[in-house]
Structure 1
Amino acid sequence: MNIYVGNLAYGVTEEELREAFSSFGEVTSANLIIDRNTGQSKGFAFVEMSNNSEADAAIKGLNDTALKGRNIKVNQAKPREERPARRPRY
């Protein structure tokens, strides 16, 4: 299951995310979203867990809990919507 994690402190690392979620089960991947221009975290991430019941437990257990001083928002990620192609800037 793909899990959305929002309201992250900018200092949170992928390893810290992996550690927080691994207490609920096996974490397949943790992907912190980074701004291309600044190289800084955008304040959200996606965590993939292979077992759905473990993922549900992680969502219930971690939603609205503090991680590095901020209460994180954790829920099942929605499928990515198709977006129109970007037009080049001139």
Structure 2
Amino acid sequence: MPVRLYVGNLPKELVDRQDLQNVFADSGDLVSTKIIKDRKTGKCRGFGFVTVETEELADEIIQKFDGHMFQESALKIERAEPRSKDKPEGEESASQEGSTSTPQVASNNRPQGGNGVPSRRSNKKSRRPATAGSSSSSSGDSFQPDPRWADELAKLKEMLAAQASNP
């Protein structure tokens, strides 16, 4: 069964697949390489993958080439985590670049981006006060006031109602 290895710390320049293939050439013909590139610029995103045929060859390559200098960068080689179905190929290993095999979990309840980082979107309501022309009104029954101020708000509503009924 083929074994996929993550190759990190590649230079973020124009890296050719054949250049990386040449690094592993003495390991035999059972090695195939893939470099992950930015779609817009075509430059290397800093990582790639090597696929080998056997577990023994995978262990040998990790032991031999982890820390190997490639274009003035020390390569980081480890077993790749299985690809999850909801992430594109380039994103699943981007989070591996700085970590080992522990999944990244956010410490808050914010929505997650593709790489385990909280997204920039926020589900918080706007802090701007509602104006008379706005679509949201505070006079509806669906609005629930902060319980700390509910009594004060009820008193204010009664005072407003009394003023409106007295011309």
TM band (smaller chain): 0.7 to 0.9
Matched length: 84
Residue 83 of structure 1 and its aligned partner are, at CA, apart by 2.8
Q: Which runs of 5+ in 2 are unaligned?
A: 88-167
- Cross-structure match for 1:30: 33
- Deviating more after overlay: 25-34 vs 35-44: 25-34
With normalisation by structure 1, the TM-score equals 0.81
Paired residue secondary structure (2:50): strand
- Greater shift in the superposed pair: 19-28 or 8-17: 19-28
Write out aligned runs for 1:1-90 (5 A). Answer: 1-9=3-11, 10-83=13-86
> Radius of gyration: which is bigger?
2
Counterpart of 2:46 in structure 1: which amino acid? G
Cα deviation 1:3-58 (Å, max 9, x = unaligned): 10000012432112112123223344211101111111101101111122112101
Give the percent of matched residue pairs that are identical in Structure 1 and Structure 2: 31
More strand by share: 1
Instruction: Tell me, in whole angstroms, the C-alpha distance in 2 between the residues paired with 1:20 and 1:11.
Output: 16
**Per chain length, whose mean CA-contact separation is higher, i.e. which structure has more relative contact order (CA < 8 Å, sep 6+)?**
1
The TM-score normalised by the length of structure 2 is 0.46
Q: Alpha carbon RMSD of aligned pairs, Å?
A: 1.6
Q: Counterpart in 2 of 1:88?
A: none
Q: Which runs of 5+ in 1 are unaligned?
A: 85-90
Distance 1:55 1:26 in 2: 13
